[in-house]
Amino acid sequence: MDKVVNRELLDKVIAISVEAGEAILGVYNASGELEVDTKSDDSPVTAADLAAHRVLAPALEKLLDGVPVLSEEGEMPSYDTRSQWDRYWIIDPLDGTKEFIRRNGEFTVNVALIENGEPVLGVVHVPVLDITYAGAKTLGAIKRDDSGEKAIAVRAMRPRLDDKQPIEIVASRSHGAGAVDTLLERIEGSLGKTGLKNMGSSLKLCLVAEGAADLYPRLAPTCEWDTAAAQAVVEAAGGVVVDEQFSLLRYNQKEELLNPFFYVIGDRDFDWKSLLLAS
């Protein structure tokens, strides 16, 4: 990684993400019925998704010369083209469109910078709450809210186990519930009591990053733009995101943009591998 990733760049990406969040809120808070269209993959899209894309894409293209933008709401380049990219932006202008439609506030703006398959900078902005999670491996991770800015970090497992506190698991409200229930039973059998938090969008990864949860198992499909920004924050906070074989989750390695199932782990020193890979 060269010196392109610095605090000045991170602050600029935060500002752009906040502006995209304001565009989303313009739709979210408008009177009248929300119009929802369906894309070719049957996923929903709204005017807010597109409004945020129109803020993010041109602004990011201007930030770093020659660095392309891959957006869920933009044109999708072929893998022949993408495979030539050493560095690119990947964005989900509105992650959690279903949560947006339900008007529960659990949706985010996701922006990540990828270098050689690795998310090296990420910003996750929560428009309704005006909270921003951001980080880069060279800078650490931060959270901004109405009380200001603070550094965040994942938490250790051992003190919780010693104090017999529940292991906090965060999971999707909409996907993979059966597989997660089976995993919870295994964890409880080995470690004791667990607590489960259900939440939408990439906020689940951010809970691990800020030490509010210990594990997020994602045992259902996601796309690369769903995870890249929050993975950068998790790793900047000291955590790790791995696939089911415990290999690091990486980007732009294949033609399709679907992620494998994965685990977001806070305490890298705890032996999650033995537990999660047990048959």
- 92 belongs to an annotated ligand binding site: yes
- Residue 156 CA to residue 159 CA, distance in Å, equals 7
User: 163-197 burial string, b = 16+ CB within 10 Å, else e?
Assistant: eeeebbbbbbbeebeeebeebbeebeeebeebeee
Rounded to a whole number of angstroms, the distance between the first and last alpha carbons of the chain is 38
- Residue 259 CA to residue 218 CA, distance in Å, equals 10
Give the count of beta carbons closer than 10 Å to the beta carbon of residue 243. 15
Residue among 117, 97, 59, 52 at smallest CA distance from 226? 97
- 21 belongs to an annotated ligand binding site: no
- 130 belongs to an annotated ligand binding site: no
- 191 belongs to an annotated ligand binding site: no
- Residue 175 CA to residue 189 CA, distance in Å, equals 23
- 271 belongs to an annotated ligand binding site: no
Residue stretches of the annotated binding site for Mg(2+): 72, 92, 94-95, 226
Residue stretches of the annotated binding site for substrate: 72, 94-97, 226
Residue stretches of the annotated binding site: 72, 92, 94-97, 226
